């Protein structure tokens, strides 16, 4: 809804290409945020798995449960990972909605912006200059 409302509000002030670029940046922010949250969630799950595996080993003293009434470190990590799962999912859904709205407003599928590589080889001017110099001997 944010994308559609933004496009409607800026419709008179922005040209078609400017609107596309502006919305591209907004959608990129949504997608980047969801991606970062997904990576953070993945690390939280790995930490929870490691802590749980360590606490299952009876020979380790440092991983024993906390005092009565307090959660163990492994339990806290599992709960944290669960919280991150919810946040990551919410941000993914927001990103998917933004991508869908972009397509609705712009009329084409969103794709990540890729900057053209600078000087991907010889430019036409440089090639022309080399040919001219070669012709001179």
The pLDDT tens digits of the residues spanning 69-121 come to: 556 788 888 899 999 999 999 999 999 999 999 999 988 898 887 776 666 66
Report the C-alpha gap between 39 and 31 in whole angstroms: 12
Q: Give the structural domain span for 17.
A: 2-136
How many structural domains does the chain have? 1
Model-wide pTM > 0.75:
no
Show Cβ contacts of residue 130 under 8 Å, excluding neighbours closer than 6 positions: 122
Poorest-confidence range of 7-16, 17-26, 34-43, 49-58? 49-58
Per-residue confidence (pLDDT) for residue 54, from 0 to 100:
75
Segment 31-62, tens digit of pLDDT: 999 999 999 999 999 988 888 887 666 555 55
């Amino acid at each position: 809804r944010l994308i559609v409302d933004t496009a409607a509000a800026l419709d008179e002030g922005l040209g078609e290409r400017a609107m596309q670029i502006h919305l591209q940046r907004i959608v990129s922010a949504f997608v980047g945020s969801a991606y970062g949250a997904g990576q953070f969630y993945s690390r939280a799950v790995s930490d929870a798995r490691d802590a749980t595996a360590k606490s299952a080993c009876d020979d380790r003293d440092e991983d024993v449960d906390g005092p009565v009434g307090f959660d163990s470190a492994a339990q806290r990590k599992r709960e944290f990972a669960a919280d991150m799962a919810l946040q990551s999912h919410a941000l993914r859904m927001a990103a998917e909605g933004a991508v869908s709205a972009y397509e609705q407003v712009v009329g084409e599928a969103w794709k990540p912006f890729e900057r053209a590589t600078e000087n991907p080889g010889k430019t036409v001017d440089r090639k022309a200059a080399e040919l001219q110099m070669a012709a001179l001997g």
